[in-house]
A = this chain, B = another copy of it.
Amino acid sequence: MAKSKVKIKDAFWSKYDALVRDVVIPYQRDVFNDNVTDADPSGAIRNFRIAAGEEEGEFYGMVFQDSDVAKWLEAVAYSLENHPNPELEKEADEIIDLIGRAQQPDGYLNTYFIINGLDKRWTNLHECHELYCAGHFIEAAVAYYEATGKRKLLDILCKFADHIDTVFGPEEGKLKGYPGHQEIELALVKLYRVTGNKKYLNLAKYFLDERGKKPYYFDIEWEKRGKTQFWPGHRNLGHEYQQSHLPVREQTEAVGHSVRAVYMYTAMVDVAMETGDEELLEACRRLWNNIVYKRMYITGGIGSQVHGESFTFDYDLPNDTVYAETCAAIGLVFFANRMLQAEPRGQYADVMERALYNGIISGMSLDGRGFFYVNPLEVNPEACEKNRNMRHVKPVRQKWFACACCPPNIARLLASLGRYIYGVKDNTVYTHLYIGSSSEVDIDGTKVGITQDTNYPWDGKVNITINLDGTKEFGLGLRIPGWCNDAKIFVNGEKIDLAEVTVDGYAVIQRNWQDGDRVEIDLAMEPVRVRPNPLVRADIGRVAIQNGPIVYCLEEVDNGPNLHTIVLPKDAELKVYYRQDLLGGVNVITAQGEKAKVEAWGPELYKAKGCIEYQPAQLTFVPYYAWVNREPGEMTVWVRER
Contacts and interface: CB of A to CB of B under 8 A. Distances in A.
Contact of A534 (B318, B533, B546, B601): B601
B603 A537 contact: no
Contacts of A313: 382-383, 386-387
Contacts of A536: 605
A605 B347 CA distance: 13
B546 A564 contact: no
A540 B564 contact: yes
- Count copies of this chain in the complex: 2
Contact of A530 (B389, B564, B607): B607
Contacts of A598: 534-535
A242 interface: no
Interface in A336-363: none
Nearest to A541: B640
A611 B305 contact: no
A540 B596 contact: yes
A535 B565 CA distance: 8
A531 B606 contact: yes
Interface in A282-317: 292-294, 296, 298, 304-308, 312-313, 316
A395 to B, nearest CB: 14
B531 A610 contact: yes
A375 to B, nearest CB: 16
Interface residues of A, number: 58
A546 B316 contact: no
A68 to B, nearest CB: 28
Nearest to A641: B611
A541 B614 CA distance: 12
A609 B483 CA distance: 10
A580 to B, nearest CB: 27
A220 interface: no
Given A294-B605, A537-B564, A564-B540, A387 B531 contact: no
Contacts of A570: 611
Nearest to A315: B605
Contacts of A597: 534
A292 B612 contact: no
A35 B296 CA distance: 50
Contacts of A533: 601, 604-607
Contact of A606 (B532, B567, B610): B532
Interface in A593-642: 596-598, 601, 603-612, 640
Nearest to A602: B533
A98 to B, nearest CB: 39
A359 to B, nearest CB: 13
Given A296-B605, A608-B483, A305 B535 contact: no
A629 B614 CA distance: 39
Nearest to A536: B605
Given A531-B612, A608-B546, A304 B387 contact: yes
A614 B388 CA distance: 36
Given A305-B388, A313-B386, A540 B528 contact: no
A114 B348 CA distance: 67
Contact of A565 (B530, B534, B603, B607): B534
A166 interface: no
A292 to B, nearest CB: 7
**Residue among A383, A532, A604, A606 with max Cβ neighbours from chain B (10 Å):** A606
B321 A534 contact: no
A388 B241 CA distance: 13
Contacts of A9: none
A380 interface: yes
B565 A321 contact: no
A208 B605 CA distance: 29
A529 interface: yes
A595 to B, nearest CB: 9
A195 interface: no
A603 B536 CA distance: 12
A556 to B, nearest CB: 13
Interface string A515-542: 0000000000000111111111100110
A605 B305 contact: no
A137 to B, nearest CB: 33
**Residue among A530, A535, A536, A565 with max Cβ neighbours from chain B (10 Å):** A535
A229 interface: no
A516 to B, nearest CB: 37
B546 A305 contact: no
A427 interface: no
A116 interface: no
A562 interface: yes
B540 A316 contact: no
A608 B528 contact: yes
29 contacts: A292-B605, A296-B605, A304-B387, A305-B389, A306-B388, A307-B389, A308-B388, A313-B382, A313-B386, A316-B386, A316-B387, A318-B389, A321-B321, A380-B537, A485-B609, A531-B606, A531-B607, A531-B608, A531-B612, A532-B606, A534-B565, A534-B596, A534-B597, A534-B598, A534-B612, A535-B565, A540-B564, A541-B567, A541-B640
Given A293-B603, A305-B389, A534-B612, 17 more contacts: A296-B605, A305-B388, A307-B387, A307-B389, A312-B383, A312-B386, A312-B387, A313-B382, A313-B386, A313-B387, A316-B386, A316-B387, A533-B605, A533-B606, A534-B598, A534-B601, A540-B564
Interface of A: 292-294, 296, 298, 304-308, 312-313, 316, 318, 321, 380, 382-383, 386-389, 483, 485, 528-537, 540-541, 544, 546, 562, 564-565, 567, 570, 596-598, 601, 603-612, 640
